[in-house]
Structure 1
Amino acid sequence: MRRLWPLTARGTGAGALAVLAFLVAHEAGVGELMYFGVLLLVVIAGSVVSLFTARRTEAVTRSLVPDVAAVGRESTVRVRAGMRSALPTAPGTWEDTLSPGLSGRARGIFPALGSGLRGGDGSVELGYTVLGRARGIHSLGPLVVTATDPFGLARRRFSLGGRTRVTVAPAIVELSTLPTAPGEAGGMLQATTAQLGQGADNLVARPYAPGDSMRRIHWRATAHRDTLMVRQEEQEATPEASVVLDRGVLRWGADAVLAPGLDPAFESGVSAAVSAVMQLVREGYSVELMDSDGAALSDPLAGGEVFDVEALAAQLATLTTRKGDDLGRVAGLFAGVLTGPVVVVTGRLSAGDTEALAPLAHHSALPVLLGVGAASDAVDRLRMAGWCAASLTPDADIAAAWEQAIDRGAARVR
């Protein structure tokens, strides 16, 4: 905190006038001016002393609404400072310190305080808005107050409270809906069988198997088919989708491995991934977010649970890239199965990457790839292999890139 000259312009002028009074009193022999100069100095000294004594700060607390900030979204900050002073103070100014990942006009007029000897809580409430600029963990504070004495002669700058940690999550962009209904996109509400008591509605009969309880025998079906039949139920399965965020450091800028918010390309990739998760969850899919090496980046998210996606975004606030290059292993994660939508978010692509990813298009009803900084020829090769692919620059519109990829998917499934 920069040191501040303890006198205001008025106080500095009063001090200069006192010195001038001493000089004139000495030269002209006017004793009254000497008393006047002494009086001015006493008042100035008293003003300075009053700012440094009998002041007590109880606590400084902050709250954010919403409690997790996001890149590109404003949050309201409420600051409550508990202060007591034996002497009344004049209005001053305040400024809350913002770390580089946040921006806003965090300053204003600090109200006058009455004497704490009269009782009362002595708390001051302040407010301002901040805008998330960079993903990561940032801080607010300390609160810096510049106070003046009641005469406006002296001033003091001091800090109140400590720092408050603020989580800035990646931006969640609203994306367009998938070109088909969940069932047509490979996430059909498929009928799977389960033993009675595990699930839902539709009772059917199947042949008796060793170990089945005799209480589950379906006598009517047994008589009709002349063989022992037992009850089972038909259960609906939730449509599933997968989102793969490639964290391999070779795909992104070198700074992305150091800390969040440093590489614009990776920031765009993280935002695209969590936005895809949000859109799929809104459409009823159970979504799994994973790394290109198959490691889960979150627990599976149930369809419709958008608040869980917002919690996931907060978890991704500290995500960075990692060593390794596992993009070629993504196709192997889905080998031998037919799955619903698979969204892959990656960075730069090589010819070998497109060859390794090509087979996955035949195992997903809707394979989507968003490549941040990917070359157009690599994207074209993936499209020829059956992918719904689009490339985008770090500062491009994620929703537009998604729309471009999905439009090709709509043509593919018609």
Structure 2
Amino acid sequence: MAPKNAFYAQSGGVTAVINASAAGVIETARKNSDRIGTVLAGRNGITGALKEDLIDTAHEDDDTIRALTHTPGGAFGSCRYKLRNIDENRREYERLIEVFRAHDIGYFFYNGGGDSQDTAYKVSQMAERMGYPISCIGVPKTVDNDLPFTDCCPGFGSVAKYIATSTLEASLDVQSMCDSSTKVFILEVMGRHAGWIAAAGGLAGKEPGSAPHVIIFPEHPFEREAFLAKVDQSVKDHGFCVVVASEGAQYDDGRFLSEAGPRDVFGHAQLGGVAPTLANMVKQSLGYKNHWAVADYLQRSARHIASQTDLEQAYAVGEAAVNYALEGRNGIMPVIKRDSSSPYRWHISEAPLNEVANQEKKMPIHYTTDDGFGITTDCREYLEPLIQGEAYPPYENGLPKVARLKNHLVEKRLKEPFTP
């Protein structure tokens, strides 16, 4: 009997190392070609399966697949698409079965965050309920670091390294000019409900009084007067103030400081604009000259400053996903377990998808200072190992080299088109 093919797809916001997980999946599958046929990648996530837009990775040579480890973005395209429950929309699941059967797919690997693991879990349940044999394994990824059961999430360590570095470098710039120019600098970072990325900015401040002087976490309700008092005191004490603010900063009643637009398909509000909102508060109440910046996509695409630890873990979860599937496992996700922080040691374990899906891991209260504006020693000890090591990409003519995939689509075998 010929080996079954595998389906791999990327979902949600991408990271600097998500393609390393893709390389882990594809290279491990190729090492087991007697048991896994071709890895077919969904063009733009799960919608690629629904539309039968399947990329044949066999058209990519080994060097190109290896180059994915130093290529940011989503090599096969990502999406934000939520499968409804099978009882609400059986049509989508029947379509998936049709596509999987038509292309002899027996393995399903979905690379994403909490909502994506919900999709992976639903597909695993669909397989059982509809009698189609498929091994479904989630592959963790999220810059927000908010998946449960795993010590950290692949993608987070590199964002943390970027934000800590940016905070350090920007603070030196502001400090050098604070006598006659900018007094307050505000950096807005990602993090909807969990402040892990904002906390990473705190790694820049190793000495008493060093920046950042204020960190705004989603876990702590925002209090305008307390914030302004902290900023004012920092300027008086140090001559300047650097603020790192999570985009998910919110008031005690749950309102976000700045909600930028409509909600996505997962029901999440589009966030953005916390930095200028805080800057206006500072200007109106304190009168200090200020500047602000939004890290936005730069923080999650900065492969040139990726963490070596993060890169290794991203590859490891992709590799483990294939190995779990070859063991006949279904409905699980590889996770990272910390053995020790100093020296940092970790290993791969597993967690059930039904418990991972739609869960968020927020920062423990003991990771933030009593005033809610800084990180503790415990938090620093947790974060520092995750940003260790430099994984510089190869360069050509002064710019990073990246993988250029053919993304050759297989011929469609189903007559009826499908619109998700």
- TM-score over 0.5 for the pair: no
**Greater helix share, 1 or 2?**
2
Higher relative contact order, chain-length normalized (CA < 8 Å, sep 6+):
2
TM-score (norm 1): 0.28
TM-score (norm 2): 0.27
Q: Whose Rg is larger?
A: 1
